[in-house]
Amino acid sequence: MLREARALHVKKQRRERRLLLAEGEDVVMAALQAGAHVKTLLVDEERVAADDPLFGASAHVVDRYHAPASLVARASTLAAPPRALAVVAQPPARAFADVEMPPSLGVYLAGVGDPGNVGTIVRTCAALGASWIALGPGSADPWHPRAVRAAMGSTFQIPILEGVAPGDLATREALAVVAATPEGGSAPWDVDLRPPHVLALGGERGGLDEALGVLGERVLAQVTIPQAPNTDSLNVSAAAAVLLGEIRRQRGMYSQAS
């Protein structure tokens, strides 16, 4: 019954596609290249020439305006207005049936509540080869303007799953989890991170305590990034970059050796 309810929720999300604001020419171009539905495009007439590549890529957009800089500034949420911004239809909600399962490398966020951190992690996941990213309870909306801006277009390039409870991971067959913990785990370079798995990261306050209890035997290892004495824990987006980089390093060395 619970699984059927979640399936209905995903179907409802797919029908009710929200609009999001893409700010900056790189983000707008990434949306266009990914085939996202750009409904309205504003470009600064003082800073974007008529022969700019952005115009060629957006020729199919019906509501496209070469607008005064003051109008672009009023429409933008940024302190420094971008050269271009667009209203884009949010891509359809994704489910486990839509993505690689088990993944070569999945990323799961539990309670990462800052949109900037979520967006930065999405960008890092795309850059370092993650198969998908799933957001658990308490994590910020990946389509929030700050998250979209921090991801710099990667939200349109990598599958994003929302509303994924730890129990949803625990019921997936052949799925293994490597959990990032602030203390008590092994150094990531002392753990074999080459086999397929999901890297789980928690918020800086709550961590993964609740998720670990649910995931149980799915957790193959806990990893902790060694730090200098008397220093605060790493920001979760920085920790994600370190760990994903180490996974890529290990897998790169393995492929070269073989």
Q: What CATH number does the domain containing 119 carry?
A: 3.40.1280.10
pLDDT at 17: 59
Q: What is the pLDDT of residues 145-167, one digit of tens each?
A: 899 999 999 999 999 999 999 99
Q: Is 81 part of a structural domain of the chain?
A: yes
Cα dihedral 148, 13, 39, 129, rounded to 10, equals 40
Question: Could you say which of 89, 123, 138 is where a domain stops?
Answer: 89
pLDDT at 10: 43
Q: Is 3 part of a structural domain of the chain?
A: no
Query: Do 81 and 122 fall into the same domain?
Result: no
Q: Could you tell me how far CA 134 lies from the centroid of its own chain?
A: 8
pLDDT at 254: 57
**Left (φ > 0), alpha (ψ -120 to 50) or beta: where does 111 sit?**
left
| H/E element, 199 | strand 197-202
Q: Is 4 part of a structural domain of the chain?
A: no
Q: Is 1 part of a structural domain of the chain?
A: no
Query: Do 125 and 85 fall into the same domain?
Result: no
pLDDT at 257: 52
Q: What CATH number does the domain containing 49 carry?
A: 3.30.1330.30
CA 130, 214, 141, 173 torsion: positive or negative?
A: positive
pLDDT at 92: 85
pLDDT at 255: 58
Backbone angles phi, psi at 59, to 5 degrees: -60, -25
Query: Do 37 and 83 fall into the same domain?
Result: yes
Domain count, the chain: 2
pLDDT at 85: 92
Q: Is 2 part of a structural domain of the chain?
A: no
Q: Which residue range(s) make up the domain with 68?
A: 10-89
- Give the neighbor-by-neighbor strand order of the sheet with 19-23: 19-23, 84-89, 38-44, 63-67
The pLDDT averaged over each successive group of 10 residues in the chain (258 residues) is 41 60 92 92 87 85 90 90 92 89 96 96 97 96 92 94 94 93 94 97 82 92 94 91 97 66
Query: Do 141 and 30 fall into the same domain?
Result: no
Cα dihedral 44, 48, 54, 58, rounded to 10, equals 50
- Model pTM? 0.86
Query: Do 125 and 200 fall into the same domain?
Result: yes
Question: Could you say which of 89, 115, 137 is where a domain stops?
Answer: 89
pLDDT at 14: 44
